Copies of this chain bind each other. A is one copy, B any other.
Amino acid sequence: MKGERVVCPVDVTLNLINKKWCIQIIRDMFFGKKHFNEFKEDKPNLSNKVLSNCLKELEEKGLIEKLVLNTTPVTTEYCLTEYGKSMNRIVYELAMFTLYDENDNTYSDETRNELKNMFREVLEIDY
C-alpha cells in the first residue's frame, strides 16, 4: 500500500475467499441453503471435490460451521458463523454492482427492483 509496507486489508479479505466458488457458496447460505447438494444446484461446473475443498477451507477460516446431524444416512448442515455473516455487505455490493448498472439488460425493471429488495432483506442491509 504505502511506504510503511502495511498489508492491504483488501488482500487480507481476499485471502479468505480466494477459491473460485467461495462467494457463491456464502451467498447461497445467506439464502438458506445448508446441504452439500444444494450448493451444487445451479452450478453445473462445480464438482464434488472442489465443493468439498471449498467448504473445508471456509470452515478452517472460521466463516462457516459444519454440523453433522445424523449418521445413517449422513445428514450435514453448513451454516454461516457470525464472522461469515459479516460478509453480507460484500455480497450486497457484488449484487448491487449489476443491479444498478444502467447498461445491463439482464433484467426487466420489475425484476431488478424485486432483486434489490430481496438482497436487502436477506442480507439485512439497513443503509
Contacts and interface: CB of A to CB of B under 8 A. Distances in A.
Interface size grouping (class) on chain A: 35 or more
A7 interface: yes
A68 interface: no
B93 A89 contact: yes
| Dominant secondary structure at the A interface | helix
A10 B23 contact: yes
Contacts of A104: 12
Interface stretch (A13-21, A52-60, A70-78): A13-21
Contact of A90 (B90, B101, B103): B90
Contact of A14 (B7, B9, B23, B89): B23
A98 B18 contact: no
A18 B98 CA distance: 15
Given A1-B115, A6-B107, A89-B93, 5 more contacts: A8-B95, A9-B99, A9-B106, A14-B23, A90-B93
Interface of A: 1, 6-14, 18, 20, 23-24, 27, 31, 42, 83, 86-87, 89-101, 103-104, 106-107, 111, 115, 119, 127
